[in-house]
A = this chain, B = another copy of it.
Amino acid sequence: MSVAPWRGDLAGALHRNRRLPYARYLQLATIGADGRPANRTVVFRGFEENSDRLQIITDARSQKVGQITENAWGEACWYFPKTREQFRLSGRSILVGADCTEAFLQRARRTAWEKLSDRAREGFAWPQPGQPRAGLEAFEVATPDPSEPLPQFCLLLLDPDRVDLLQLRSHPHDRRLYLRQEDGTWLVREVNP
């Protein structure tokens, strides 16, 4: 498989911002059951193998999982502070939970789980997110098995079909749109910032 043309720009931004751990944080917008937009920070966990889908992890009990189940559309906004570049990645998300029967997706989910630290894995055993605050003892959980994802561990794959790159370092700024066509190829257009 050939990678999408915006992957080179993104790889460059990731490389040049690599000293900032939070350069791997992006904001994922979805639509809530109440019709309002929802927006939160997530962590980029690399691309799915042989794919242009971004890997993100989440708790199946979080609001975004319910939102994406109802409406798969999302837009991630990813700002790179050092190089002053913004990527807007719009597309559908796919959720890979414990009940997913696609073997290659379950493998990707398991691999993502294995790569986590013990501490990060423990977070998935914490009490239900968003509920009234539980006592401290409820957060003292056993260290989960690193080889067996907890049922609430969910892999989220964002599949962009439109990428809007804005580069603020040049004057005037540079802006480029990448648009995926029906046949899977990408159109590239230079537009006004």
Give the interface of A toward B (CB within 8 A). Answer: 20, 22, 25, 27-31, 35-41, 73-77, 79, 81, 86, 88, 90, 119, 123, 126-134, 136, 139, 171-172, 175, 189-193
Distance in angstroms from A177 CB to nearest chain B CB is 8
* Majority DSSP secondary structure for residues of A touching B: strand
Distance in angstroms from A94 CB to nearest chain B CB is 16
CA distance A126 to B127 in the complex (A): 51
Between-chain CB contacts (< 8 Å), 22 pairs: A25-B79, A27-B27, A27-B77, A27-B79, A29-B29, A31-B35, A36-B75, A37-B37, A37-B39, A38-B90, A39-B39, A40-B86, A41-B79, A126-B192, A129-B175, A129-B191, A131-B191, A132-B190, A132-B192, A133-B190, A133-B192, A139-B172
CA distance A63 to B30 in the complex (A): 17
Chain B residues contacting A81 (CB-CB under 8 Å) are 20, 22
